[in-house]
Amino acid sequence: MKKMIRKWTACALAFAMVLALAGCAKGGEGAGSTGALDSEIVNIGITDSLGSVNPFTIDQTWINKYAVGLQFLPLMELDADLNFQPMLADSITTADNQNFVVHIDEKATWSDGTPVTAYDLEYSVLRLASPKVANATLLLYAFEGVGDDGFVEEGATSIAGIQVLDEKTVQFTTKYPIALTTFQNTYACYLPTMPKHIIEKYTEEELTTLDWFNHPDVVSGPYKLTGYDVNHFITYEANENYWKGAPKVKKLNFKIMDASQIYAGLKSGEIDVTHHTMTAIPQEDYESIEALENVDVIYGSPITNQSVFVQTKNLPDVKVRQALLYAIDRQQILDQLMKGHGEIVDGFLSSASPFYDETMTPVTYDPEKAKALLAEAGWDGSQTIRFYVNSGDGAFVNAAQVMVAQWANVGIKAEVQTVDLGTLMTVAGTTDYELLAVQYTYAPVDPYPDMSWLLSGEGSWTGYADDEINDALAKTQTAASTAESKEYYSLVNRKAQEEVPMFSAYVISAQGAVNKRLANVNSNVYGFFNNIHEWEIVK
């Protein structure tokens, strides 16, 4: 399992943070305009930039996932209540946590009328596992027949761990037990199934640059891409033959904007919808957006953890790490800088997770306790703690300065280093820091991969490992119930609270907004686009 955990990093970072991805523009019908004030077009304002629309080359950032997923449905998707909702598949079952049977919905068809079959899914996974395609973000090495590098042998025509049972059923076999929720969250939500009958004529090398993906005419999802520019827009038209029902909104745009433009766009009607994860609304605009008469404001579930990772090899004394936590007034920071939109927790899990331990009380602000711990540790105050922070996260840059001032009050000297996200990730790889702050979304229903890697010892962001934690995390993968898993995750979080290899500064409840001219928009962090074919313009 260690190999799986370490390789999880590239994918986990994609979910955890907003990545600024550069690229070139692609055109198509309507690519020059997003129809900002056309009453028949729905505009979604986002602040991420697009990486790619090719399912074979994308990494799994939110915008890339959804840009592709609107056309090529995932097997399943989380809904607003954190249940796995059928999308292309109508069921996924396992009897032993190693053999997972995926059944594709009998009604599922491509937009040209051809049924979606098990062979489409098998073909897509085989190509995604190709060393020539070289997509390293989907963790396929967990399956039998796939190498530890995540790829099959060059020229392979099948995968031992991917077996077609009938026209609509595929069995996935893993090398080691994993929980059903891990299979669903890691694979079912992110594997795009593509039309074999359309693209099988292309070589593996051709698939990575195939122009067809820039304007596909055969899709399984509710929309077809018509044009995009990675830094400005993505445009779609409805798939009138969508097997779940033709979308009521006939044209859809993602408008890629600077965060400072979101409030004005909502006010003018230039944008209709914002997304809790893909739209970074500045905190200073929250109240202004709440006051708008033309939008409904919805705060999402608290899932984005403003995590501070402690590189324990550079701060080896647990008493010093504990003092860091006791010395900061996290509730004050949440109330003043985040307007109270969030919560304070210890460890990795927020109240949005089914594994959250309600009996675990977060460490409270106690500067005298912090001073006592430092005295016991023999801390002389001569060391300057290097605290690396993402310069693009303005709210936390301010929070970090407050924390530094509060640490100074107990005798800890710290210096904030603000760097862009790319540099921050480079620093994280060197482990040449004491503290590193990152907005991290631990999947509420499946925190196992992230927690396991972050607590995997040397080379991880914490440099911390513990046998009791390793054992508890391994047991979550074979637990018989949510309640049993909750016990194991609680042990891990309590250990994290005591040993402080990381701490949560706060957990964010992000703001989202929907123009009142729209109906049936499920505005939440998860499940946002699950029913997009039912979105409707009502006024």
Residue 216 placed within a domain: no
pLDDT at 22 over 80: no
Integer CA distances (angstroms), 539 to 84, 515, 518, 533, in order: 32, 10, 7, 17
| Final residue in a domain of this structure, among 198, 230, 249 | 198
Q: What is the average per-residue pLDDT within 118-139?
A: 92
Structural domain includes residue 213: no
Q: Which of 198, 213, 232 is the last residue of a domain?
A: 198
In a domain, 461, yes or no: yes
Is the pLDDT at 87 greater than 50? The verdict is: yes
Q: Give the torsion sign (CA, 130, 11, 315, 424).
A: positive
Indicate if the pLDDT at residue 28 is higher than 90.
Answer: no
Residue 232 C-beta-side C-alpha neighbours within 13 Å: 14
Pair of tokens at residue 27: 């055109």
Residues 128 and 253 occupy one common structural domain: no
Shared domain for 46 and 191, answered yes or no, is no
**Residue 386: strand pairing partners:** 415
**What distance in Å separates the CA atoms of residue 321 and residue 299, rounded to the nearest whole number?**
33
Mean pLDDT of the chain: 90
Residue 10 lies in a domain: yes
**At a CB cut-off of 8 Å and minimum separation 6, what does 522 contact?**
79, 80, 528, 530, 531
Whether 14 has a pLDDT exceeding 80, the answer reads: no
Whether residue 488 sits in one domain with residue 521? no
Q: Name the pLDDT band for 38 (thresholds 50, 70, 90).
A: low
Same domain, 470 and 438: yes
Dihedral of the CA atoms 478, 483, 485, 487 (nearest 10)?
A: -130
30 with 65, same domain: the answer is yes
Do 270 and 313 belong together in one domain? no
Q: What is the pLDDT of residues 386-404, one digit of tens each?
A: 999 998 787 889 999 999 9
In a domain? residue 215: no
Task: Please give the pLDDT value at position 339.
Answer: 87
Looking up tokens 């986990």 gives: 12
Task: Tell me the per-residue pLDDT of 301-329, one tens digit each, with 9 for 90 and over.
Answer: 898 899 999 999 999 999 999 999 999 99
Has residue 209 been placed in a domain?
A: no
Domain that holds residue 339: 304-508
| CATH number of the domain residue 256 falls in | 3.40.190.10
Condensed to tens digits (0 to 9), the pLDDT of residues 43-66 reads: 999 988 888 899 999 877 788 899
User: Same structural domain for residues 23 and 60?
Assistant: yes
pLDDT digits (tens, 9 = 90+) for 215-226: 999 999 999 999
Q: 245 in a domain, yes or no? A: yes
Residues 125 and 63 in one domain: no
Tell whether 399 and 538 lie within a shared domain: no
Find the CATH number of the domain harbouring 345: 3.10.105.10
* CATH code where residue 103 lies: 3.90.76.10
For residues 245 and 359, membership in a common domain is answered with no
Query: Do 27 and 156 belong to one domain?
Result: no
Please enumerate in sequence order all residues whose Cβ is within 8 A of that of 254, keeping only pairs 6 or more positions apart, or say none. 43, 44, 46, 50, 63, 67, 233, 234
At residue 282, the pLDDT reads 86
Please state the φ and ψ torsions of residue 505, each to the nearest 5 degrees.
-65, -45
Q: How far is CA 345 from CA 15, 62, 248, 271, 484, in A?
A: 20, 25, 41, 34, 21
Domain match, 410 and 534 both = no
Name every residue whose Cβ is closer than 8 Å to that of residue 86 and which is 6 or more positions away in sequence: 76, 105
Q: Give the per-residue pLDDT at 88.
A: 98
How far apart (Å, rounded) are the C-alpha atoms in residues 515 and 9? 37
Could you tell me if residue 211 is inside a domain?
A: no
| The total number of structural domains that make up the chain | 3
